[in-house]
Amino acid sequence: MAKEGKKAWLITYEHAWKAGDDVAVLAVLNPATGHGKVEDVVGLFWRQLSLRGSEKLAYMNPKAPPPYRPKWAAPEECTCGHSQVVVARLVTGLRASNDAGSIDGLVWD
């Protein structure tokens, strides 16, 4: 019997050098959300979580872009950051779970 779940953009905050450790789910977006909007959300989360207040103020100026911009690793994955990374993945089979391997109570295929 196949496991049920949803297709969605899953946005997480994680350490680039510790795959699977200290991963936090930041958002779940409708799978129809366009790449431009996904990129905007990923960039916004990265700025909010990684920059100090004074840096956020400085990077409000469009002539002073932040040091990291969202990049598409594949049509289904957008990342932003270096050591602390915000990642958007288009996942399938997203469902709630209390299993030990779940991340913030979610698992996916």
* C-alpha separations of 37 from 2, 42, 46, 78 in Å: 31, 9, 14, 11
pLDDT at 38: 97
pLDDT digits (tens, 9 = 90+) for 31-68: 999 999 999 999 999 999 989 999 988 888 777 777 88
Q: What are the tens digits of pLDDT across the range 7-25?
A: 999 999 988 666 656 789 9
pTM (two decimals): 0.86
For 62-101, the pLDDT digits (tens) are 777 778 899 999 999 999 998 889 999 999 999 999 888 8
